[in-house]
Structure 1
Amino acid sequence: MLGAGVIGSIFAHALVNGGHQVTAIARGRRLADIQKHGLRLQTWGSKAVSSVDIDAVDHLEVETAFDVLLVCVQSHQIEAVLPVLKGSRARCIVFCCNQFGNTAEIAHQVGRDRTLWLFPAALGEIVDGVVHARVLSSLESAIQVNTLGVADSAANHHIETVRQLWKSIGLPLAVTKHLDAWLQTHTAFMLPIMWSGLSAPNRKAFKPDLTLSRHVSAAVKELLALVRGSDAGLAPWNMKVVSLTPDWMIALVYRLTMATPMGVNALYGHVEHGRDEMVHMLAAIRKEAASQNRELVALERLISTV
């Protein structure tokens, strides 16, 4: 497990509980905390903290032929870890992170026959060393589900390996044949929502009004149209539905969601720790817009507002 942030910790915790041997690769304070206290996780809505013992080290042993290497970093950190991934003898490398384009190039660098992408249906934040986690259940799969795909069909033979791994820990998993469409659509939908969190200095001060809700809605529709016009296209089906939904309805759902503690905590769990990734994804979206000769009027208006 390369990366022991929120996503890496959630998956590592589930894998250890499922009886798998897991090595977590972390740095600094996070590494020291895991080595001292174990991997601690608290599910949203519960007061109980579950701790599991796990091997934690500060670097990837490239000579070790891991069955599966999960790369749980933010998108702007991928380039920095590519050199060590290239040298790793891991049989299967699974990126568990956001990405807007360039998946085929990454697979080419790391190994097109062993590179997959798994988008996690989980979120949370780390507070005082404890991961406060929210993992979407099977009943919530219409909203989002752990989604696996390959950038190159040469890696198809690893799909069943990862599918069985996820089945063994009781987490739902869908497989997509449209990886880039799925990843780009997710970014298009989420980036305006994440950016709206910058409108307040912290979650306690965050109070989305009607104007902000309208700006978010317009930006979401604009970016979904951008992805629909790209080589990737829109996926999955529920995002195609959103792209056809009236702006006022998206604004209403956004405002109602952000009126709940869960909605606000989910938003700021990422905003407070993922601003660099947001900027990175924004640059990728602007690049795609330039290639289509499109102006991102609604998105730029949202950015200037917050």
Structure 2
Amino acid sequence: MKFLIYGAGVIGSIFAGKLASGGYNITVLARNQRYKDMTANGIILQNAYSDRKEVSKVKVIDHLEPSDVYDYILVIMQKTQVNSVLPYLAKNQSHNIVFVVNNPLGYEEWSKCIGQNRLIIGFPAAGGELKDGVVNYFIGRGIARVFQTTTFGELDGKATPRLTELVKAFNKSHIPSVTNSNMEAWQKTHVALVTSIANALYIHKSNNYALSKSTEDIKLMIQGIKEGFQVIEGLGYKVTPYKLQYFKLPVWFLAFIFKVIMSTKIAEVTMSKHTIVAHNEMSVLQEEFDELIKKSNRTTPCIDKLRNIFNSL
């Protein structure tokens, strides 16, 4: 099975390295210094806990030709970068294009550009930091999956053979993955969650350990998440996946749990470091979620407070 990983950042590198180690034919589209590093040294992954290094040699390209056909193209980049690559994807003849990208506003533009029948939506439960050509990484396994699992789905929610094969490949490559029948609800829920978390982290200069010591800001973050979920429900969507229903628990109890979570290496690798490199993306996602808030006609005083602090920084 042939994969093109379109984007050689942290998540793209993790997926490429793990899929290559799973025995799949992997090509990575990279540019500039990342292209040079990967061409010379391959993909170097270092486990954030064990420090164990894995090196995978893969084919590296710097542009996509219309005739370059893959079984799956995984588009893995920030939301702000997608528009620049859509014309190249539209011309390419590959049948399955998987957007592993934050998107709370829906998929009409992507569908119109590349064709609805080619589009699959996904999102990772992984994170890390790229430094000096090495990706220090974490993949959501075990108890971490209570928070998030790598997830894929069709636009129409159907369980198709191509979706089954994609998830099978990821699980074989030790990236625990599942399917979901409503990825639009899933991604709207995700943005409601991560915008409040990111804004709370920005209050503490993206230092999760500092945030963990502030009960007041942890509670504000949780109340913001609860308001965000009410916005989602007000628009007629269910909070997705269902396991996130635990956010209905009392704020004081969730605050205790999140003070522990924010004091961990997992939070540093998957949350704090991401907010540092994705500042512009988080700003765009907040603006897009604000559109959903307006449509819902809900009041969101805690989200407003978090946003105002973020904007004042």
User: Which bracket does the TM-score occupy, shorter chain normalised?
Assistant: over 0.9
How far has the Cα of 1:153 moved from its partner?
5.8
> How far did 1:267 drift?
2.2
1:29-79 Cα deviation digits (max 9, x unpaired): 111111121110001112232111111121122211111100001122222
Residues 272-291 of structure 1 correspond to what in structure 2 (within 5 A)?
Answer: 272-291=276-295
- Are 1:226 and 2:222 matched, yes or no? no
Q: Deviations over 1:12-33 (max 9, x none)?
A: 0011111211111111111111
Aligned match of 2:240 in 220, 235, 238? Answer: 235
- After TM superposition, the score normalised by the length of structure 2 is 0.90
Among residues 110, 119, 124, which one is paired with 2:123 in the alignment?
Answer: 119
Of 171-180 and 195-204, the range deviating more from structure 2: 195-204
Q: 2:167 and 2:46 mapped to 1: Cα distance?
A: 25
Q: Which residue of 1 aligns with 2:189?
A: 185
1:45 match: secondary structure: coil
**Scaled by the length of structure 1, what TM-score is found?**
0.92
Q: Which residue of 1 aligns with 2:83?
A: 79
Gaps of at least 5 residues in structure 1 are none
Stretch moving more, 260-269 or 19-28: 260-269
User: For 1:62, what is the secondary structure of its paired residue?
Assistant: coil
Structure 2 CA distance for aligned equivalents of residues 245 and 160 of structure 1: 34
Of 79-88 and 164-173, deviating more is 164-173
CA distance in 2, matches of 1:94, 1:302: 32
Q: Structure 1 residue aligned with 2:48, among 33, 44, 49?
A: 44
- Give how far 1:210 is off: 1.9
Q: Is the 8 Å Cα contact of residues 104 and 151 (structure 1) preserved in structure 2?
A: no
Deviation at 1:270, TM superposition (A): 0.6
CA RMSD of aligned residues (A): 2.0
Is the contact made by 2:8 and 2:34 (CA closer than 8 Å) also made in structure 1? yes
* Distance in 2 (alpha carbons) for counterparts of 1:251 and 1:139: 18
Instruction: Report the Cα offset of residue 197 of structure 1.
Output: 1.7
2:309 aligned residue: 305
Alpha-carbon distance between aligned partners in 2 of 1:284 and 1:264, rounded to the nearest angstrom: 25
Aligned-partner Cα distance in 1 for 2:24–2:128: 23
Amino acid at match of 2:256: L
Cα distance in structure 2, aligned partners of 1:97 and 1:35: 25
Distance across 2 between alignment mates of 1:202 and 1:178: 31
Q: Which letter does structure 1 place at the counterpart of 2:15?
A: F
Q: Would the aligned equivalents of 2:151 and 2:179 in 1 still touch at CA under 8 Å? A: yes
The one-letter code matched in structure 2 to 1:11 is F
Decide whether the 8 Å contact of 2:138 with 2:266 is kept in 1.
Answer: no
Matching of residue 26 in structure 1 with residue 36 in structure 2? no
Following superposition, the deviation at residue 91 of structure 1 comes to 1.6
- Give 1:155 shift: 9.2
Q: For the residues of structure 1 that align with 2:46 and 2:161, how far apart are their CA atoms?
A: 35
* 1:218–1:86 distance in 2 versus 1, CA, 3 Å: same
The partner residue of 2:152 within 148, 154, 162 is 148
Q: Give the whole-Å Cα distance in 2 for the aligned partners of 1:271 and 1:130.
A: 19
- Structure 2 gaps of 5+ residues are none
Match of 1:30, as an amino acid?
Answer: R
Deviations 1:67-112 (A, max 9, x none): 1100001122222221111111112101112211222442232111
Q: AA paired with 2:85?
A: V
1:212 aligns with 2:208: no
Counterpart-to-counterpart distance in 1, 2:150 and 2:158:
21
Corresponding residue of 1:133: 137
